[in-house]
Amino acid sequence: MQDLLGKHIVLGLTGGIACYKSAELCRLFVKAGATVQVVMTEAATQFMTPVTMQALSGRPVYVSQWDVREDNNMPHINLSREADAIVLAPCSADFIARLAEGRSDELLSLMCLARPIEQVPLLIAPAMNREMWAHPATQRNLQQVAADGATMLGVGSGWQACGETGDGRMLEPAQLLEDITAFFHAKLLVGQQVLVTAGPTFEALDPIRGITNHSSGKMGFAIARAAREAGAEVTLIAGPVHLPTPRGVRRIDVLSALEMLEAAEREAARASVFVATAAVADWRPASHSDQKIKKDGSGLPPVLNFVENPDILATVARSPRAASGALFCVGFAAESENLAAHAKAKRERKGIPLLVGNIGPLTFGQDDNSLLLVDADGVRELPRAPKLQLARELIAEIAARLPTRTSA
């Protein structure tokens, strides 16, 4: 998806080994539809050549304030006025100190100082040794730069080029892309606490086998990401899936329907929106064998008894908070036929304001989906599209239906 289509980003590189990540970040920006203008400090050119960044961005790289390509000799003005955002990645401890002091003795810092603060946001991805990151001077400078209007993108933790381990690594390019994409989205859910369930459940027969389904969790994870992009505080209760947690989302892993119910009831106590996308198993074995159930040579299968799992969505929807309107509940229905009829009946049965229907075999494990929105006014289809695009459309629908809506 070209999430940054139409955006013009000035990508600033300062001196640090993390410049090698900036090449991939530039490529991801371009792939996402943005145009990228690279500006480098002299120190940055010791770690990454301007030729590499020019090849990836498709534009000549700027290093000097005295670049003769600018007719008016004012690249610090011209480049900053064209930008939708200035992204400093990596941003060294020295450059953060420069920003805090308002120094402007080379092109990149001069451009940051000259940018129209209200029109051109400054996003900073710090990168440095763990001791430099933890130093009081650095933390003091970060606070000052943030107070002056910059947005901090945070740091990663782990092995560093110096051989030490800790905080201070520049975030990975894919993480930065996700954070910067979220930055540009309208904050329709600021102040909202969104709870999402996603993926299948697994109902164990014995230590080896169990009952589950083909749900990949992709739709629920996309909704969690879209809600976070919209400014919400998001908690994601995930069944057994192998998906990375969306940036900024709190994740709770569960296995069975009973575990998911316990987590959902607990977390719903403070949520304002509940989106139940999980494909919860309708039944579970009445008993669980402590050892693997083996063949006995008779040729007959074992006799298995089942009990119905609790209805998580209906349970939460019947809670006092949902009944009072403090919790807006959204359900999902995965059907194999007669989607509209089944979805309408399910919404009535669950007693919820909005139900989202889809055809299970056409969505499980897929990157695309189509949705049917069912409410008291009728049915509306969201045509097949990438799940993240649909998730963003659904979040906008939810935001518009909330009793009080906070917009960007």
Q: What is the pLDDT of residues 224-256, one digit of tens each?
A: 999 999 999 999 999 999 999 999 999 999 999
Residue 400 has pLDDT above 90, yes or no: yes
pLDDT mean over 322-345: 86
pLDDT of residue 269: 96
30-61 pLDDT tens trace: 999 999 999 999 999 999 999 999 999 999 99
| Tokens matching residue 67 | 């670049």
Q: Indicate the average pLDDT of the chain.
A: 93
Which residue matches tokens 């909704």? Answer: 223
Task: Supply the DSSP symbol for 377.
Answer: T
Residues listed for the chain: 408
Helices and strands (H and E) in the chain: how many: 15, 19
pLDDT of residue 35: 98
Residues paired with 276 in a beta bridge: 197, 331
d(CA 307, CA 372) in angstroms, rounded, equals: 30
d(CA 182, CA 323) in angstroms, rounded, equals: 32
d(CA 252, CA 220) in angstroms, rounded, equals: 13
Domain 8-184: CATH superfamily is Flavin prenyltransferase-like (3.40.50.1950)
Residue 305 has pLDDT above 50, yes or no: yes
149-158 pLDDT tens trace: 999 999 999 9
d(CA 302, CA 278) in angstroms, rounded, equals: 29
pLDDT mean over 283-292: 90
d(CA 407, CA 195) in angstroms, rounded, equals: 20
Q: Residue 407 — very low, low, confident or very high, per pLDDT cuts 50/70/90?
A: very low
Q: Residue 299 — very low, low, confident or very high, per pLDDT cuts 50/70/90?
A: confident
Q: Give the contacts of 242 (CB within 8 A, at least 6 positions apart).
A: none
Catalytic amino acids? 162
| Tokens matching residue 209 | 């086998």
pLDDT mean over 74-102: 95
Residue 362 has pLDDT above 90, yes or no: no
Q: Give the contacts of 400 (CB within 8 A, at least 6 positions apart).
A: none
**For residue 396, is it left (φ>0), alpha (ψ between -120 and 50) or beta?**
alpha
d(CA 109, CA 52) in angstroms, rounded, equals: 22
pLDDT mean over 112-138: 97
Q: Which of 171, 156, 152, 176 is nearest to 32 (CA)?
A: 176
Residues of the chain above pLDDT 90, percent: 80
Break the chain into its structural domains and give their ranges.
8-184, 193-401
Angle between helices 173-184 and 19-31 (to 10 degrees): 50
The whole-model pTM stands at 0.90
**For residue 87, is it left (φ>0), alpha (ψ between -120 and 50) or beta?**
beta
Distance separating the N- and C-terminal Cα atoms of the chain: 23
| Tokens matching residue 336 | 């194999």
pLDDT of residue 406: 42
pLDDT mean over 178-188: 96
pLDDT of residue 405: 47
CATH 3.40.50.300 fits 193-401, yes or no: no
The alpha-carbon radius of gyration of the chain (Å, integer) is 25
pLDDT of residue 363: 67
d(CA 40, CA 44) in angstroms, rounded, equals: 6
